[in-house]
Amino acid sequence: MFSGDANAIFKEVIDRYHIINTVNQSFNNPYGEKINVLEHLLYRKGWIDTVQWHYEDIIRDPQIDPVAALKLKRQIDASNQDRTDMVEYIDSYFLNKHKDVEVKTNATINTESPAWGVDRLSILALKVYHMNEEATRTDASEEHRNACQKKLGVLLEQRVDLSTAIDTLLQDIATGDKYMKVYKQMKMYNDEELNPVLRGQK
């Protein structure tokens, strides 16, 4: 099933990132550079999310230098744009894959596209990894570890449910019981014509 492959790639990404464990490390996609290859897209998506997860940790340091914080905020903004772009690439992959499916007259559309489900699956993989770290920390109290172990159990259950939902949606799209659309994200705050602050500086 698709979700099993996606979860495996997200785990691969997270494990590889933590070998060096720094946001400044270079990115190298083992699945090549073709953006029409699903494995390439999933690996890239997972890497963006993993780096941004650690950006978010760093920027919450109460002792962070304000200049460094502003620079990091710009990096987070750019990462968010990359994340959105990758979601659209993944959805475009699925649209192309199922372009010849005959949609049934009673077909319905989902509340979210397959790739936005994948987006949540990627973030969930990061939550599982880091909650497991907390649940097994030898320098933490037993109470802390037990509480995190319970949270980990919920996250693992959530991953099963989300994986099942994504696989079911893709199957429904493949059989014409559901149809999908790709809506380009209409983000306004990075656009010099749509953000009044940026527009006023032109």
Domain boundaries along the sequence of the chain: 2-189
Helices marked H in 98-183 — which ranges?
A: 114-135, 142-175
Tokens of 103: 């949609």
Distance CA 183, CA 23 (A): 30
Helix (H, G, I), strand (E, B) or coil at 88: helix
* 66-97 and 114-135 helices, crossing angle to 10°: 130
Using an 8 Å Cβ cutoff, are 40 and 33 in contact?
yes
Collect all residues with Cβ–Cβ distance below 8 Å to 166 and sequence separation of at least 6: 2, 3, 6, 114, 117, 118, 121
Measure CA of the first residue to CA of the last residue in the chain; give whole Å.
50
Q: What is the pTM of this model?
A: 0.91
Residue 188 binned pLDDT confidence (cut-offs 50, 70, 90): low
What pLDDT does residue 187 have? 64
Report pLDDT digits (tens) over 109-148: 999 999 999 999 999 999 999 999 999 999 999 999 999 9
The model's pLDDT over 23-75, given as tens digits with 9 standing for 90+, comes to: 999 999 999 888 779 999 999 999 999 999 999 999 999 999 999 999 999 99
Helix (H) or strand (E) holding 179: strand 178-179
Contact 131, 155 (CB under 8 A): yes
Residue 47 has a pLDDT of 98
The pLDDT of residue 34: 80
Across 3-16, b (16+ Cβ under 10 Å) vs e yields beebbebbebbbeb
Average pLDDT, the chain: 93
Tokens of 83: 């994340």
By C-alpha distance, which of 75, 81, 42, 82 is closest to 57?
75
Q: Tokens 């949606």 appear where? A: 169
